Amino acid sequence: MSDAQILDRGYRRYEGPRGQVWAAMRTLIRFSFERALGMRRGFWAKVIPALIIVIAFLPAVVFIGIASLLPDAFAEAVPTYGDYYGFIVSALVLYTAFLAPELLCNDRRTRLLGLYLASPLNRLTYLASKALTAVLALSIITIGPLLMLLLAYSLQGQGPGNVVDYLTLLGRIFLAGAAITAIYTSLAFAVASFTDRMAVAAASIIMALLGSQVLTSVLVNGADWPVWMRLFSLVDLPLDIVERLYFGSNFGEPSISNWAYLVAIVAWSGVLSALVIRRYQRLDVTR
Amino acid sequence: MAVMTNVAEGPPSSSGAPNNPTISGQNITKSWGTHAVLTNCSFQVSGGVTGLLGSNGAGKTTLFGMILGLHEPNSGELRVFGLDPRTAGPKIRARIGYSPEHHLLPPDLRAHDLVRHIGEIHGLSRRDATTRASDALWQVGLGEERFRALGTMSTGQRQRVKLAQALVHDPALILLDEPTDGLDPLQREKMLSLIRRIGTEFGIDVVLSSHLLEEVEQICDSVVILANGTVAASGGLGELRGDTYGVVAVLDRDVELVGQLLSQAGWSTNIAGNRLSIAINQNLDQGLDALRDAIAEVGAPLRSLQPERRSLEDIFLGSAS
């Protein structure tokens, strides 16, 4: 055996292709997604996301089991697609409260943000990448269980009757997922942009979501404030929109028009996103 | 699909030519609120290793932020690779490696994963980034440690990881913010020699910020001195230190005697402890010969004999005052 050693590897120039901003965004999305779900990390980093995902999928597994074991009682015993979010709303709130601080606070606390912004990314493309990551990660529980239900019911012969019904149902699943994701992500990002401490951010997100629900409920039901105040309940707003999408105008809050819901969701998402952008534009990332 | 460009289409690489500087600033003024950080700063940074020298709070990090296009100057014109960082920030940053001052990095991330990730963020493909991350970590002396979690590394090792991530995408320019901060003397020496290698053997221009005069003097070709919010001096070290203006000898004894002999011969002498210096006009060899002969005639034990030039400390103190 030779005793020869390589002592100096020399420096090699790189003359290959270089990706531009979109390549950087794609890399950041993949990396953030993997880390948020605990991939390539220790055991404890995987526990919370895995647990929440299991909680979100559990009702779907139960419904599929019921539909499989009691096919005759399917229509009565199994909730519809539109009812599903009622079963997983706590998982949605918890997942959002976990995800946003993981995506935003960590980069600021570990100052990785400074390294990102010293690359082709800028503050807006960085935030857009993080928002897309949140959308992807939230889709696992906002869209995933319903797609699983659709697939399982279809295999059992209990799915939609024709192609149009299929496409309509798929459209509803994606639109409902988008409505929930838009509100929850923008609120969670806005809260997470104010603190570097993940636990504080997570607690604040839960308090903001549940607090808005309790407050509007007290004002509307207890103090007879106008019903449209319900548009300020950030838990109920997306769920009302989901009901509208699946069951029509008599559901959600019947006295609130579809347009009002649409304006509310766009306004909330826009204002909260603008707040996040403003916070990040003021950050000094080189310190 | 990612838009890819060949390196040839990117911003021009560093030239090093004095008439085509890597970075140039004209009357740069920057303030944070009412606090003026930089006022009418004009400077040029060309090839090699450049030291950005100034005391803490002098505006070094702010200037780095402006070079990267992260802060905008209130007035003045800044050019990096001939481009304006305000409008061409992403294009400029794609060819810059940046190592920040802080030592915080995700503790559970492995060094190789971080360096590879930053390589990919700068546009390298996954495969290229993986290979170059290993190479960069070998170059900074962390080849064997590259799969260790950052949280388990010492400050010195983290400094080297930061250098590796700045190097991984083969930038034309590397900005190092206080790269020896927190290092012990041995680690500092190694880091400085590594930076010197990057600026010479690797052919990458380096700008390092520091408040330590000796380390800038040790490895830099040129310097930009910030004092009181302005550029107190800038240029090549040799140019700033000027021509040799004397010869200095350190003797064990008989300093006075040698001094007298030289004075009688018409030399202007200066004695400080066991240090004897004579002023020269133009001819260095003549001064060296005269001092050597006088020492030999007296038989004084000689410790050192060398030309005398202005030190960076002299320049810094002179310009700061």
CA nearest to B16, candidates B206, B243, B245: B206
| B262 and B138 together in one domain | no
Domain for residue B250, yes or no? yes
Instruction: Give B10's contacts in chain A (Cβ within 8 Å).
Output: 18
Structure tokens at A80: 């519809």
Domain for residue B122, yes or no? yes
Domain for residue B7, yes or no? no
> Which single residue is written with the structure tokens 């002098």?
B58
Q: What is the DSSP letter of B151?
A: G
Domain for residue B300, yes or no? yes
| B175 and B273 together in one domain | no
B274-296 as b/e: b if 16+ CB within 10 A: eebbbebeeebeebbebbeebbe
| B196 and B257 together in one domain | no
Last residue of a domain, which of B184, B215, B240?
B240
* Closest alpha carbon within chain B to A11: B202
| pLDDT, tens digit, 9 for 90 and up, residues B55-108 | 888 889 999 999 999 999 999 999 999 999 999 999 999 999 999 988 788 999
Q: Is A43 on the interface with B (CB under 8 A)?
A: no
| B199 and B110 together in one domain | yes
Q: If you average pLDDT over residues A112-138, what whole number do you get?
A: 95
CA nearest to B152, candidates A42, A146, A71, A27: A42
Q: Is B64 on the interface with A (CB under 8 A)?
A: yes
Q: What is the CATH number of the domain that holds B81?
A: 3.40.50.300
Q: Is A282 on the interface with B (CB under 8 A)?
A: no
| CB B38 within 8 Å of CB B13 | no
- Å from A94 to nearest chain B CA? 23
Please report which residue ranges of A110-162 form alpha helices under DSSP H. 112-117, 123-142, 144-155
Q: Do B5 and A122 touch (CB under 8 A)?
A: no
For chain B, what is the domain count?
A: 2
| CB A59 within 8 Å of CB A152 | no
Last residue of a domain, which of B240, B274, B308?
B240
Q: What is the mean pLDDT of chain B?
A: 87
Domain for residue B2, yes or no? no
Which one is predicted more confidently, B236 or A177?
Answer: A177
B53 — alpha (psi -120 to 50), left (phi > 0) or beta? beta
Residue B126's CB is within 10 A of a number of other CB atoms, namely: 12
Which of A11, A18, A110 has its CB closest to that of B124?
Answer: A18
Parent domain of B294 = 243-320
| B151 and B295 together in one domain | no
Q: Do A26 and B2 touch (CB under 8 A)?
A: yes
Distance CA B52, CA B71 (A): 18
Q: Do A119 and B104 touch (CB under 8 A)?
A: no
| B219 and B303 together in one domain | no
| B97 and B71 together in one domain | yes
Query: Alpha carbon B146 to chain centroid distance?
Result: 27
At residue B11, the pLDDT reads 42
Q: Is B292 helix (H, G, I), strand (E, B) or coil?
A: helix
Q: Is A27 on the interface with B (CB under 8 A)?
A: yes
Q: Do A109 and B7 touch (CB under 8 A)?
A: no
Domain for residue B4, yes or no? no
Which one is predicted more confidently, A286 or A20?
Answer: A20
ipTM of the complex in this document: 0.89
Q: Sorting pLDDT into bands at 50, 70 and 90, what band is B7?
A: very low
Domain for residue B18, yes or no? no
Distance CA A163, CA B264 (A): 112
Q: Sorting pLDDT into bands at 50, 70 and 90, what band is A238?
A: very high
> Which single residue is written with the structure tokens 């700033």?
B240
Percent of all residues in chain B with a pLDDT value above 70, rounded to a whole number: 92
| B122 and B224 together in one domain | yes
Question: Does residue B131 carry a pLDDT above 70?
Answer: yes
Distance CA A54, CA A43 (A): 16
- Å from B232 to nearest chain A CA? 23
| B169 and B222 together in one domain | yes
Residue A7's CB is within 10 A of a number of other CB atoms, namely: 5
Question: Does residue B206 carry a pLDDT above 70?
Answer: yes
Residue B318's CB is within 10 A of a number of other CB atoms, namely: 12
| B272 and B136 together in one domain | no
Distance CA A96, CA A134 (A): 8
| B189 and B311 together in one domain | no
Q: Is A39 on the interface with B (CB under 8 A)?
A: no
Q: Do B100 and A114 touch (CB under 8 A)?
A: yes
Distance CA A128, CA A221 (A): 38
How many angstroms separate the Cα of B122 from the Cα of each of A129, A277, B138, B151, B164?
A: 15, 23, 20, 24, 13
Please, which residues have CB within 8 angstroms of residue A165's CB and are 6 or more apart in sequence?
Answer: none
Q: Do B100 and A286 touch (CB under 8 A)?
A: yes
Q: Do A40 and B4 touch (CB under 8 A)?
A: no
Residue A54's CB is within 10 A of a number of other CB atoms, namely: 12
Query: Alpha carbon B266 to chain centroid distance?
Result: 41
| B156 and B233 together in one domain | yes
Q: What is the CATH number of the domain that holds B315?
A: 3.30.70.980
Domain for residue B14, yes or no? no
Question: Does residue B2 carry a pLDDT above 60?
Answer: no
Last residue of a domain, which of B240, B274, B297?
B240
Q: Is A28 helix (H, G, I), strand (E, B) or coil?
A: helix
pTM, 2 dp? 0.85
Question: Does residue A231 carry a pLDDT above 60?
Answer: yes
